[in-house]
Amino acid sequence: MTEYTAPLRDMHFLLHDMGGLAQVREMPGFEEADGDLVEAILEEASRFASNVLSPLNQSGDTEKASWNATGVKMPKGWPEAHQLFSQGGWASLSAPAEFGGQQLPQLVGALVEEIWNGANLAYTLFPMLIRCTQQVIALHGTDQQKAMFLPHLVSGKWGGTMALTEPHAGSDVGAIRTKAVRQPDGTYRLSGQKIFITYGDHDLTENIVHLVLARVVGAPEGVKGISLFIVPKILPNEDGSLGLRNDVHCISTEHKLGIHASPTCVMAFGENEGAVGYLVGEENQGIQNMFLMMNAARFAVGLEAIGISERAFQRAREYANERIQGTEIGSNSEERVPIIKHPEIRRQLMAMKTRIEAMRALSCTIAISMDIAASHGDPKIRNYHQQMVELLTPISKGWFTENAVDITSQGIQIHGGVGYIEETGAAQYYRDSRILPIYEGTTGIQANDLVWRKVLRDSGSSIKRLTDEMREVQLALEAQTNQNLVSISWSLNDSIENLLSATDFILEISPYNQKRVAATATSFLELFGLVCGGWQMARSALVASKKPKENKHDTFYTGKINSARFYADHYLSKTAHLSKLITSGSMAVLEGEDLFK
């Protein structure tokens, strides 16, 4: 089994042929991110992924992170790998320059993060959390908090976590009970228990910065009374050196289906004198402040989905080219052939490949909008792209991750029986991927967020503006002479109509029957995801059709057109069914409650 290889050719296509890098280089602060620099970063990231992170993926799954009363010990080789990761500056790619970061565009950071996820998902959860912790403190922290914590986080010297979930509350963060008591010196003392805290404890860094949701004594009930606190494992001294151990302890780790090397911790805050915490922002504003980290994490989980899907695809493709079984259909030869010759295997590989390409292209589109929303000089343009980021984040989190589970499952299927055997590696990718539709809010939560907060809140104007952009691509394809491109255009046109029809139905029915909307929200998310993927594949095909072959053996650009045609035929065709389901498929759900009593 070979190690993971970063899909640099496809990334190059998105950055250069599709014009992504040129777009972000127009933004203030990103002018120096030229093609040579970005290509060098991606190539070095690919080498690090293949040579350092990928070899630890299967061994980490087997050895696992282990807990005892003194804390969590990571698998062999992991502390050394993180040290190399930090020394290479990989924890600081998109961080502010004033705190030691490289301040590269989110577009570049997203592609690099996909590479880490493809090489070793269980490890990459750690730097992802460090990055999200950086962002919250950089935006909402005091100057003193920024100076105290950001340089250590940006360097990768300290770790970070999100400590939200409690045993009784689950995703209902308004029900949390962790208590915060004001202290005369301006700090707070926290007490409570959090569960499912990824990298809540480990031996990769000398300190861990927990971002903890808690309720100050006397605060209102529900989400309106929640505040956000920085709670370090070890309290820093004023000079930045490490001081006393805080009252924060990992009391156990979860035994999980996958990502075994990533410690998922039960954390006790304040079992003794109380854990010292520093308020981030104002009291009772914790949900708003934490949602910055939550949304960043949701996009990051989408990148995890792309990375693990690519890893599963590479393994399945390699096996399909090596495994000799059966004779070729339609051939008179009795010679046994690699299973890649069988149409069903090629169909499954295409089903994997095309969705990965669609997700990768859409993730770049979202990242570009992040960069424009943060840096463009025109506030109207910034606002539009921020709306696009908010609209598409549930798709990256929900649709991408559901795809990943199916793609990694198909990877096992291509292997046949040996795919079910752990030694081949295919089963690990499936096990690891299964957490992704649950992380940071389940697919159902993402669907409700999409429908209620993104579509209904602005009466569908954002989604209709986006479909106008899609229509421009569809019309450009329709004007081509290549029959594949015209066919893609027809499919995209139909899928846009199906999406708009479903959107209009939701807008019409929501004022008087919210349950019907909720019953089909997940179907709406899938429909929207499929159409967004089709839009990106259509864009890719249009660009590829204008590119000459580099040589007679080069099939990359013709392959792009073929991938888009496959996606249109096999996935955009599903949008008619989903649209009908949304408009007429909710009653059986709502009337079937008694079936489960």
SS (H, E, C) 263-328: CEEEEEECCCCCEEEEEECCCCCHHHHHHHHHHHHHHHHHHHHHHHHHHHHHHHHHHHHHCECCCC
Question: Which tokens belong to 91?
Answer: 């924890």
Paired residues of 66 in beta bridges: 73
Residues ≥6 apart with Cβ < 8 Å to 563? 350, 353, 354, 357, 537, 540, 541
Q: How far apart are CA 590 and CA 516, in angstroms?
A: 7
Burial of 272 (0-12, 13-18, 19+ CB in 10 A): exposed
Task: Determine whether 322 is an active site residue.
Answer: no
Q: How far apart are CA 532 and CA 596, in angstroms?
A: 35
Q: How far apart are CA 326 and CA 265, in angstroms?
A: 48
Q: Is beta strand 207-216 parallel, antiparallel or unpaired with respect to 158-163?
A: parallel
Q: How far apart are CA 300 and CA 365, in angstroms?
A: 14
Kind plus residue range of the DSSP H or E element containing 251: strand 248-253
Q: How far apart are CA 589 and CA 340, in angstroms?
A: 41
Q: Which amino acid is at 87?
A: Q
Question: Which tokens belong to 243?
Answer: 């001081």
Q: Which of 370, 317, 476, 320 is nearest to 113 (CA)?
A: 370
Which of 440, 469, 526, 550 is the catalytic position? 440
Q: How far apart are CA 356 and CA 351, in angstroms?
A: 9
DSSP secondary structure string for all residues of 124-185: HHHHHHHHHHHHHHHHHS-HHHHHHHHHHHHTTSEEEEEE---TTTTT-GGG---EEEE-TT
Q: How far is CA 289 from the centre of its chain?
A: 20
Query: Which residues are identified as catalytic?
Result: 440
